[in-house]
Amino acid sequence: MTRSPSPGSSAGTAPSVLFVAPDRTRADAVAAALDRHDVVALVRERHPDVPVVLLGSGGSDDGSDGDALADDPAAHRVSGDIESLSYDRLADRVRAAVARYRSSEAQRTERDIVSRLERRIQRTERKITSLHGVAMRLASVSDADDIYAETVEAAERILNLDICFAFAAEADRFVPRAQSSTPTDRELRPVPKDAGAMGETFRTGESHRAVDMELHAFGRPEFGDYRSGLSVAIGSFGVFQAVSEQTGAFDEIDLELAELLVAHTNAALQRLSFERRLRVERDQYAALFENSADCIIDSEFVDGESVIRAVNPAFEATFGYDESEVVGRAIDDVVAPDDRLDEAAKLTEMVRAGDFVQTEVRRQTANGERDFLLRSVPVGEDTIYAVYTDITARRDIEPEMEAQNRRLDEFTSVVSHDLRNPLSVATGHLDLAREEIDNDHLAAVARAHDRMTALTEELLVLARQGTDAFATTPVSLAETAERCWDHVETGDAALVVGPTGPSSPTRAGSTNCSRT
């Protein structure tokens, strides 16, 4: 280690430079080359992070009085009577100077980090603002492929993702819909839905950031030879991915910005899907409105009245008005007879209050007054649909049907009485006979009486309630045949029950029966 005065300075005040050289020759060469102003510049040129300590007599320890140190916060002076200091004390002075350098260096590093972070935050904020602009543009896009293309273009232009692409989910695979303009040697092809990061991302809805594909569990197959990547689900519509040939190309902020962009994409695709469903429902409603046999009125509330906006062809045919004649008029003024305006107004008020109205009304048609079943359905705060179903024909035949039902009831009662009386007599005699005689034939007679009683009751149910008293149910052919066999004279004949025969529409599941 050599301590050399700086050339050109007086012997009493010249600062010294401590340096280590491998031999005396090189030490002399360095000492000859150094002067007070060249030392700092030389060290800074070769090793900008190494602290420089100049030794000199006089001045202050903070180095503020040295021209050579004025512009270099990493250089420090150790002043005082250097020659009288021992090497230990000199070393302490040097260590203190270096410590001051380290402290100032840490402060500079902190300032640099804060400055870089602030610049990164500003860039991120600008990107977020730009992405909101993308969301505004996507709100007016009416084609799904254009939405995917806009997403990839924004990823390139705003997020600086040079290689990226968007895939749409189909039945069992992902189909490429858009890719970045950066040339690649890979042709995008459909990817199976259970493949790699794309399948995992879509299945779980969780984003993936692969720092190194070789270490990432979901790195194949769609990433190919790329070394790092991002994978973000576009809701239930597909997956967005960005890749790089470098490892660690993406950080968490890149992933979060990609997720924000894709959230806008998902919202645009959801809007498009909703609009598509809305068009289908509207077309279905239009078909129902135009082709319904019922009279339908589309109206809205204006100043407390239900004003017609549209009517269907069935209304025009029944009430004798063209649509252009009634649009803008109150429903009650068009269809309600004069003597029923108060009743119609009450129904309108009920519908306005949000009630669903279903009732029978009488309305004025092109062919006079007719009876209708009115169903009024409020939709939202102001819209109402009124459906008129013509029930005049049914009302006209109701008196005749009631008369027929009365006659049928009277007939059934008579028949039931006439059947029950002799049946009761027969049952009584049968009971007496069974007390005197133990014969299987009497048991068959008893079963026949029970069957006749059941038929009589079913006849009454059918006549009075209109229910299907003779509804059929599947039965076992073999058991039915055997029961019937017990009630007929068979002589020497025998009943043979065989297995099911060849299948046919009428014989499938049946049992073959024959008499021998």
Higher confidence at residue 223 or residue 161? 161
Phi and psi at 351, nearest 5°, equal -65, -40
Q: Is residue 126 part of a domain?
A: no
Using DSSP's 3-state secondary structure scheme, residue 71 falls into: coil
CA distance 312 to 295: 7
Q: Do 132 and 158 meet the contact criterion of CB atoms below 8 Å apart?
A: no
Q: Is residue 117 part of a domain?
A: no
Given 333, 362, 390, the domain boundary residue is: 390
Q: Is residue 237 part of a domain?
A: yes
**Looking at the structure, do residues 319 and 350 belong to the same domain, yes or no?**
yes
**Looking at the structure, do residues 384 and 404 belong to the same domain, yes or no?**
no
| 252 pLDDT higher than 60 | yes
| Helix, strand, coil % in the chain, rounded to nearest 5 | 50, 20, 30
Strand partners, 241: 165, 231
Q: What is the mean pLDDT of residues 298-315?
A: 91
**Looking at the structure, do residues 181 and 255 belong to the same domain, yes or no?**
yes
* pLDDT of amino acid 454: 82
Given 367, 390, 413, the domain boundary residue is: 390
**Looking at the structure, do residues 259 and 303 belong to the same domain, yes or no?**
no
**Looking at the structure, do residues 503 and 467 belong to the same domain, yes or no?**
no
The residues, ordered by sequence, that sit 6+ positions from 366 with a Cβ below 8 Å of its Cβ are: 318, 319, 320
| Cis amide prior to 502 (ω within 30 degrees) | no
Exposure pattern of 247-263 as b/e (b: 16+ CB <10 Å)?
Answer: eebbeeebbebbebbbe
**For the range 160-166, what are the long-range contacts, defined as Cβ-Cβ under 8 Å and sequence gap of 24 or more?**
161/230, 161/242, 161/254, 161/258, 162/244, 163/226, 163/242, 163/243, 163/244, 164/240, 164/241, 164/242, 164/243, 165/240, 165/241, 166/234, 166/238, 166/239, 166/240, 166/241, 166/265
Q: Is residue 125 part of a domain?
A: no
Higher confidence at residue 428 or residue 267? 267
For residue 410, what is the domain's CATH number?
1.10.287
- What range defines the domain where residue 16 resides? 2-108
**Looking at the structure, do residues 455 and 492 belong to the same domain, yes or no?**
no
* pLDDT of amino acid 84: 52
For residue 204, what is the domain's CATH number?
3.30.450.40
If we measure between CA atoms, which residue out of 269, 252, 27, 322 comes closest to residue 139? 269
Q: How many domains does the chain have?
A: 5
Q: Is residue 93 part of a domain?
A: yes
Q: What percent of the chain has pLDDT over 70?
A: 72
**Looking at the structure, do residues 155 and 264 belong to the same domain, yes or no?**
yes
Residue carrying the six token digits 């024909």: 393
Strand partners, 211: none
The residues, ordered by sequence, that sit 6+ positions from 358 with a Cβ below 8 Å of its Cβ are: 373, 374, 375, 376
CA distance 336 to 344: 7
Phi and psi at 22, nearest 5°, equal -70, -20
**For the range 377-381, what are the long-range contacts, defined as Cβ-Cβ under 8 Å and sequence gap of 24 or more?**
378/351, 378/352, 378/354, 381/301
* pLDDT of amino acid 238: 96
**Looking at the structure, do residues 325 and 351 belong to the same domain, yes or no?**
yes
Given 59, 87, 108, the domain boundary residue is: 108
Tens-digit pLDDT profile for residues 433-487: 878 887 778 888 888 888 888 887 777 777 666 544 445 678 788 888 877 777 6
Q: What is the mean pLDDT of residues 224-238?
A: 89
**Looking at the structure, do residues 380 and 402 belong to the same domain, yes or no?**
no
> Among 173-182, 438-447, 457-466, 491-500, which is the least confidently predicted range?
457-466
Q: Which two tokens stand for residue 196?
A: 């790699």
| 210 pLDDT higher than 70 | yes
**Looking at the structure, do residues 228 and 300 belong to the same domain, yes or no?**
no
**Looking at the structure, do residues 262 and 174 belong to the same domain, yes or no?**
yes
* pLDDT of amino acid 64: 43
CB atoms within 10 A of CB 175: 13
Q: What percent of the chain has pLDDT over 90?
A: 32
CA distance 437 to 454: 26
| 70 pLDDT higher than 60 | no
* pLDDT of amino acid 12: 42
Q: What is the mean pLDDT of residues 85-108?
A: 68
* pLDDT of amino acid 216: 67
Higher confidence at residue 78 or residue 481? 481
Tens-digit pLDDT profile for residues 337-365: 999 999 999 998 888 888 889 999 999 99
| 145 pLDDT higher than 60 | yes
| 2 pLDDT higher than 60 | no
The mean pLDDT of the chain is 78
* pLDDT of amino acid 50: 62
For residue 370, what is the domain's CATH number?
3.30.450.20
> Which of 115-124, 366-375, 505-514 has the largest mean confidence?
366-375
CB atoms within 10 A of CB 476: 12
pLDDT band at 218 (very low <50, low <70, confident <90, very high): low
| 403 pLDDT higher than 90 | no
Q: Is residue 120 part of a domain?
A: no
Q: Which two tokens stand for residue 363?
A: 């309305």
**Looking at the structure, do residues 358 and 406 belong to the same domain, yes or no?**
no
The DSSP 8-state label assigned to residue 181 in this structure reads S
* pLDDT of amino acid 384: 87
Q: Is residue 115 part of a domain?
A: no
Tens-digit pLDDT profile for residues 146-160: 999 999 999 999 999
pTM above threshold 0.75:
no
Q: Is residue 173 part of a domain?
A: yes
